[in-house]
Amino acid sequence: MRTTDVLVVGAGATGLYLSCLLKHHHIEHLVIDSKPGPSTHSRSIGIHPASFQLLDEIGVLGDIRAHATLVASGQAFDRQRFLGTLPLGSVLTLPQFRTEAILERHANPVSYNTTFDGYHHHGDSIHIDTSTGPIRASTVIGADGMHSSVRKAMTIESTPIPYPYSFFMGDMHDNTSFGADAVIFLHPDGMTESFPLSDNKRRWVVMKRGDEDETIEGLVNEIQFRTGHAPDPATSSMFSVFKAYRHLAPRMHDRNVFLAGDAAHVTSPIGGQGMNLGWLNARDLIRNWDEPAIYEAIAKRRAGTVIRRAEFNMSLGGKSQWHRLRCAGVRLVLNLPIRTWLTRRFTMQDL
């Protein structure tokens, strides 16, 4: 039987960051993941200033800055009519698989193709069943995503709840004049978001109306209809259709078994705060795992705040018969001093 101090289940952004942090503190640990290898899908791209100190602590911030795109501001439009600008300070964009690749280079080696099959407490230790053999550990951290096997083994009755919103997105060559700015387009049928990426790419995210053609060509048609811009579908390096979910586990620990990241909570991707929230979880867990109730209280408070904000952002950008009034409100807010507060809120500096 293999033995270790800590077993990390899941080698996504949260699990890999946990491994880097444990390694930084010289804590023996193993990392397992059921996937056959590292992810190649871009998914989350936003890295907020609230995470910079966390990434610097484990020695990866410089590497991430070198590969990421700096987003200084966000522009808002009513279709093609300019509404205002929100300063963003220093948000970075980097496809998640690239962020994870940087983290993995600083983490312990990952045992891929290894499923977590359950656990039981044995005195002060935990005996874990995996597809490649048993492991004994002092602590288990489930960072294995929305459909967490660790959460299931903890017998936590909690199912992610789908929102009545669906999206499709694609990364394509940037043929706009927005440069390093992020952009949001409000439209009666639903919002469109656009973010700069490295290699002269731009991510487009469209809130679905419901009758669109779910192909990259359908996405481009909607972008052109709602914004006037027409990226080239032949340059697409990623295309995805997805629903938004919410989830907040009613409890996040079973003695020395913990949940972190999407295993503990899921928020809508609108606002791009989920990955950063997982990193904050990891930092707080390492600080408080001798007092799990404190960790759980902090994690629930932060997750609840981020979930509520994402819900507000989705409702603000959704299909609306009050489109003109909504745009007038956005224009007003983006031209008042309150936008400084909005910047701190969007970049997670107030959490």
pLDDT tens digit string along 249-307?
999 999 999 999 999 999 988 777 889 999 999 999 999 989 999 999 999 999 999 99
Structure confidence by residue, pLDDT tens digits, 312-333: 888 888 888 889 999 999 999 8
pLDDT of residue 89: 76
pLDDT of residue 240: 93
What is the 8-class DSSP label of residue 54? H
According to DSSP, the β-strands at 161-173 and 182-186 are unpaired
Structure confidence by residue, pLDDT tens digits, 53-95: 999 999 999 999 999 999 989 999 998 899 999 998 789 999 9
Predicted TM-score (pTM) of the model is: 0.94
SS3 assignment, position 48: coil
Q: How many CB atoms lie within 10 A of CB 212?
A: 17
pLDDT of residue 40: 83
pLDDT of residue 335: 87
| Exposure b/e, 223-253, CB count within 10 A at least 16 = b | bebbbebebebebbebbeeeebbbbbbeebb
pLDDT of residue 321: 86
Q: Is the pLDDT of residue 102 over 80?
A: yes
Structure confidence by residue, pLDDT tens digits, 135-187: 999 999 999 999 999 999 999 988 889 988 899 999 999 999 999 999 999 99
